[in-house]
Structure 1
Amino acid sequence: MAVHITLKNGEQVKINDHVYCSPSWSVRDGTPYSVARIMEFLHKEGTTRGSTPAGGSSASAKGKGKENVGASTNGNNGNHSFTRVRLAWYYRPSDVSDRPVADSRLLLAAIYSEICDVSQLRSKCFVVHRDKITDLAGWKKRPDRFYFNRLFDPYIKKEFEVIQSNDVRNLPPNIREALTTRYEYVVAEKEIVPDLTDTLRQCETCSKWCPPPESVRCDRCKHYFHMGCVQPPLIAKPTRGYGWTCGPCSRAHEQAVEGHEVRHVTPVPKPKSNAPPARGRGRPRKDRTLAEKEENLPIKHFKMWPFRYFGLYTVAEDTLDPDDLIFPRTTTRVGPKYQVTIPAMSTARDPELEERGGDATIEVLSVVLRIPEDEVRELEARKARLTSKVEVSSSVDWLTEVVRRLSDAWLNDREFSTVNMSNPFRLEKWKKVETRYTDREWDDDEKAAFEDAILVHGAELRIVRDEVGTRTIADVVRYYGHWKNEKLGEENERRRQRGPSYKPETNQVSQIDIDSDEEGSVVKVSTKSNSSCGACRSRESKTWWKAPKGLASNVLCDSCGPSWRKYADLNHLRPMREETVAAKAKTGDKREGTPLAAAANKRIKTTGSSQATPPPGPSIPQLRCLACHKNGAIGKVLKCQLCGTRMHGGACGVLPDPGNAESWMCDLCANEKSGDPSVFTTDCVLCPRPRRDRKNKDPFPQPDSFLRACKPTEGQGWAHVACAVFTPELTFSDAARLRVVEGVSAIPHNRWSTRCALCNHAGGAVVQCGDCSKEFHIACAWSRGYKFGFEVQGLKNRKDNTAPITFNEHVGSLHAVIRCKDHDASKRPILDICETNESNETALQVYCKTYKQAPIKQSYALLRKARRLDHIIEEKDVPSPTNGHVSPPDAEPHCHRCRTVFSPFFHPVPRHNSSGSSSSPKYLCHRCHFEQEHPQANGHTELIATSS
């Protein structure tokens, strides 16, 4: 007699029915329902009553025994009050793989079961094998219908094909009969399915059955042989692409070759396989009555399972044993390939080595028990003075080190008063270098980076370590424990202050009255609420469902809520989900899947946190920019694949290209990889020459600072991006990519000779504070946390030739500004370096494109450099005034256009081309003459060739 259980929604389920299963929403937050098959009903744990007889139950028993209704989920104390149920799980493809699957009705079977409470069963559903469905399209249109054609094993984490046992023909009659009478489905590897579904294969030598892994086929006569029945026996099968011929076929071929009777063999068609035909996309059969029959087809179960593994690593005769394991298996790990050969250990001991277990081989932490009582009181007094501070009074590391140092002082006959804790290091017996006995304090920047990374990545501490950048993984793990305890302590203190009558507010739901069911997933919205569905944005729904995390709203309408829980599919979120799946594929992140409460060693290995990962949403892994100290999505914030430095692309002159975000390298690493000679002279030409000792010969800037961003200059030099942008005389030949820095020689001499107010060193080019007269190096100002940005100033009058810009709501001219910490930044706000406008361009990009672009269309690089050098020489050779009049020029010629007196030779200007009525001859230097004669020159190579 079949036993039925009545669910909360009124449906009755029995053994071998398929159901939705899920704990309360607070436990399984954001995850859809799990699909499972009922294997047996169990009484309350600890009772002596047995379970339901489920060994040979069949789904064909539907409709029988409806009068024997068991206890409902509220439970009673009758003979049929079952409180637990054993479920056989089905997986969704997204639970075990990152492959996007568009079909929300496709499942993966599994030979894996768990015991759950009956209260976790939600409603009934139907799961059928693909080959038993005639009209798949019509099947998927009906609610609560699923299908499967593959099986996933959670232990070896591999997928297998599932075929009907009646389709397996290549077996001996006794084995096939035992397989087909017990099991409905056979599980095997994909490559062995055609061999199992072929006709019975027998060896031509011994006339016995040829198992596929142990047999070989002749390539000429197409007969099968055991690899041990041929002479000589075959050790292994032929390599893929090669054939094998039996002895008679080989001799016949040799005789044909000797008799010159060789002809091209007519290709033998491939024997027709009896495997079930592949399902095509043709017109399906529209038979509704047949579809209803397919839901109730009887399924054979043996010991509660319809599956049996029969693949590459199965011994066929073991199928006859009813107690043989039915689980999928893989190749054994036995033999010299997998087992290590350990050499014999010598029993002779080196007499020079200390015997283990003595005082010379152990680290003494405390000898308090050996100290006399009068000295113990003195030790306790000294210990109390050393641990008087509140922050160390309960520190295990501190107290352990205090006792160790006091014990060491007593063993060496020293006074306890000589012991102090000023040295944070200690030399352990088995280490060559000193180590810390307590944690190094975290500074404010490290704490901020840690908390930002925790907010984005959760408990993925290795990613958090990369975000912090200055700590080891051990430091991050240890600090995470202290930080979490501190947050819990603060929360408990707030609760104590609020009192016992305080009730926390509902998560992000404004004006919603919670009226949850036992699952805790349904909320009823009051008439004052104006909430909208987080998927379809609908504002009208009779019942509102709690939405998973990551959506625009925390409620779903009556159509989207059940759709997500049952099918893990929201059509409105499909584009968003595809982006999230692509992002997760790069980081290796997977969604926590079923089973619900399995042991840790039996669950699918995931990289997520302990809680269920929220459904697809707009959350994308982010990185912290070293220029603006703000987080940004991967692709906008780039990370060098060699040194790990991170910054917005707009802050280092990188044009957006999401396809190359993972392979991006900073300019210094790219230059180092290319092997250019300038890799050894990467010091910034605008900063003072660094003083390095012999131990520290690393010329590269540290990757944890924005000063790692450097650009090449004219003349095989390098300059920090910050120094090049905030030095007014410098320009870029390509302002979009911030390459190449020009104009270093145009910086006035007094800026090079002035000492920096921060480092007190001369040699680099200084700039002035935007609000005072303090002068400093740009790199020194950045290292000390000065404010860098761009100030928008209005145009003073119409004669102002400064190019105006429009940046968000600001209109005017941009000015690069550096402010020291002595000034109030709120009076004159400035734009941040990485602040973006409507075109997603940073303020640094807009400033450089507008004011830092060199005139490359008017001249070429060598000519621009020569003009700057001429300007410097002209400033040095300005004649001194005499009585208010300028002294007459020298007799030697000079160019009347650029006024230079340095040229290989001068070209006289014809009289009819010269302007004015002066009778003195006029000349053009060789460069100006070349520009006049060749106005369409594209580069400086023509000038060099002509002058040479």
Structure 2
Amino acid sequence: MSDIKTAHNITETELSDGTTIYINDHVYLASEHLGEPYYIGRVMEFCTSHKRKGLQVRIAWYNRLKDIINRKSADPCLLVATMHSDIHPVSSIRGKCTVMHKYYVPNIDVYRKQQDHFYYNQLYDRYIQRVYDVVPCETVQNVPMDTLEALKSRYQFIAVEQGKAADLTVARRICCVCQQWCQSAVSVKCAACQKSFHMSCLNPPLVRKPSKGFAWQCAFCTRQEQLAESNPDSPIASVTSHTRSSSSKASSPETSESQQQTTKDLSIAAATAAVVATKAELKRQVRATRSQVKQQQQQETLALNSMVAEDAVNNMTDTSPNSTKTKPTIKKEGPKAQQMNMTNMWPFRYFGVNTAITDILDVDDRIYPRAKSRIGAKYQANVPDFVPPSRHSRHSSSTPASRSPRGSWQEESSTKKELQDILDRQTPISQDDMASPFSASSDMTSGMRPTRGTDDTVTVIYRPDILSEGTIDRYMDHVKELKNIPLPPYNSDLMDRALYELELNNYDTDTAYDNMSKLNGDDFKHIVEWTPAEIEAFEQSIRDHGHDLNYAKAAVKTKDMADIVRYFYQWKKTDRYEPVYSEWTKVYRPLKKFKKFPRDIKREAEEARLEKENEMAAAKSQEDTDLTIVPRSTYSSKPYQCMNCFTDQSRIWRRSPSDFDRKRKVFSKVLCNDCGIFWLKYAKIKPISSDTRIANMTISSNNAANSSSQLGGDHKRKRGELLGNMKKRSKEDKEYMQFDPSPCTICHIMSGPADSLYTCYACGMSVHHDCYGVKHKAEHIGWRCDPCQNKKKPVASYNYECVLCYNTTSKHQALKMTSGYCWVHVQCAAFIPEVKFTNPATFSPVEYIGCVNPARIEADCSLCDDKRGACVACSECSKSLHVQCAIDSNYRLTFEILPYNAKNHRHQPNCPIIPAGLFGPGSASGIMVPQIICPAHSLTGRQLIRIDERTANESRESALYTFCKNYKRISSNSTPAMRRYLASSAFMQSKKAHKKIPSQFDAVIESLSMDASLSSYAGSGPCRSRAILTSSSSSSASKSARSCSQCPAKFSPIWWSVGANPYSLQRLCQRCHNKEQFNHQHVH
């Protein structure tokens, strides 16, 4: 039973803003989900509920077009009506609006410009999922009069299938024979005289309507044409020709009065001639009945009288010679909401192709749209009648040819005789087996068993209203006191047998009691004793297969299925049920909750009361807050600007249409109150002119400048500190450090400048900010290393393996992302000179992995024997090894300062030089070269800087950061495309591999030379490869120097370097280069 009750005495209510809502008003309602506009509906009635707080309202919904066809409508004011309603609290109403049918809107353009005005002309049914046209009942004409009166008195609109409304709004069609209404499906229309006839009223009746593209003509018009063709000079011929021309085109308003009068006279003359011709034809009709002749005479008389009366009326109305006939206009006035004709609170009624005309007269007929019937041969299978099987007898030997015309009933009588013989041979059923009709039917065939559910299988146990309730109670009390029956007083078998004895003894309580006193345990066949072994087998079946009793029957073969089912329902109420059945539910139904027996009524009532209070509190908190409004607590922390009109002045800020997060605390995109309300009402962003946007942007910028100028430095500092503390507190509330700080993974010490040690909140790895490349002034709280950040917001590969050493033995790996979205160790990238960093401050992304010397790739690591990756050589013994393998084996990673002479290195005259005393009083000046030295070698006499040392100046930078800042940076003139081309060209040069790994000093000089060449040719292309692209931006000197070394050519699409040295100043043009490649191929 529903908890909703109609409040008949409430017809209006007042909202919190003072707006009064009446029944049949159209209102806005708040959406249940964020990102959706207001719902629009009509107030049907006010309701109350003991389960819901506050006054409720029943709303009839209107849908927007995008909600039905999933397509944006060009007109936001267009709605689609529905016949679906819901109950909502009155507090969800957000305002009033106006919704009218399009028929009642005099000027649609003016109406749409009015605020909060909507219109509709269609209805959507969500069950059939079809759209119907909505037609006002006052425009309906082509229906019977009683049906039309019922429609107009009970409904305001009817819903019909699309395209069917025109057939209902035309003039009423009357059959010229029976003078009754003509339905389009069962009537035809004459193509000449435009009169309608029932197909059954024609003589002979018309079986079906003409096919598409063909017309039908009545007998009278056909006879007129025949007479006109036989006598062209007769007045009938002229009238017929005139009728044809007038029926083929509509009469124009410019027709003169004389022509109209001539037409009327000719029509009357034609009608008179038709009467004469018809009488002559009737005399020739042999099969015409008297009723048909009389009916035809009445039709002719009515036709003549109507024509004469119409002529007289027209003569009286057309008094002036210049008067013209005008079409009457219909005054379309929208019905007031309180005056709409409704039935069951709905102004709509389905009146489509699946409705019978007579159904409208029934007040209780279903008014909702209905689909085509699914009953019939088209949808159901044709199942033949059931014929019971019969045994072969001597009567079945007759052949089909010898059967008489009455063979069907003879066969049926013989079948019945055979069935009777079989029944007579069956043993009679004793009285003891009456309670079980199928107990004696084991010898019956399946065809002879009675059908279940019929009177043959029903055993009457007790009939009420024969004895009084007091008599029955006294009889049952006496039976329960009997000692000869081994059943408890509450046993259902005992009660059923006591009532059954009353039925057998004609409800004589004394006789029934005497019979009950003579019974013992053997008379109750359902009393079955279960052994402990059978109980254990039954419970094990429940543990393994749950409630599937077929497995229980297979486990307990000594009991029938009836005994097992009876025992199961008795056992289910015992304490053994939950511990046994829970073993099955733990695997297959882990969310199963068992009911407690006996039930605690007080506890359940208390839980229900608490749950109801919680629901009411949640509903109250939800009603008091509008989720579309940005919380006012955020207004002071951030100045908002409307994303549509760009204004920064609004009393209320609302969420953007794309904001679906209910728990959002920071809002980057908002709408002002005007733009937000417009979108909520019309589901469309409010159109704003460009001039208004520019003006609002100017005002906003001026306000921002004024506010910033008024704030002093102290205020800025305090506000910044306040915001910083607030962010810090918010992060502290969300993030918790689960790891203790450990030594830096790169330099292996914990000491350093204040707040320089960072610990990853995800993996616990600790690094110094200048050893790992942490962003400047990054927050310690919640900081994550690059791999852990990639796990949270993926941008690179999930395979966290260094592509330069493939060493994954260490617990914490200081990895950085490459330009190819792979990973490398910071130490591996720093100690291989060819590899560089795009941003030396953050050591990422790592570039030029493809530019690594091929000798490093071909070398095998002497520590791990892994052929993958790139190796470096010991500066003393030239042993090849991976950088990370050297770290794991306690090799020494240092930076050696070597002297540099610019005259001996022409390719790199501007090499970075480390000043003397940078790392202390004893540090020399020179080039900083990364070195890996075996533990057995001596370090005396060498200027080495350990990786854990820092500069002696105020900055206290690590040695690794100092090296990368000076020797690992990439030219600012290069682009990602140039660097990719340089790497790919180096891969093409990998065939000309070096025999051994170059020294670290030479590799550093070569890498600097490579970067300098890339910087010098930034306008023309990468120079790491042998191909040098020409450019118009090159200087004239470079163009003059760029000439072929083998021919006098000075212009070439591509310049190629000579020899193996990619930095040679000699060049080859494209033509000479092709010749050299051709000769080289033929030689080899």
TM-score range, shorter chain: 0.3 to 0.5
Structure with higher RCO (Cα < 8 A, 6+ apart): 1
Give the TM-score taking structure 1 as reference length: 0.38
Name the structure with the higher helix share. Answer: 2
Larger radius of gyration: 2
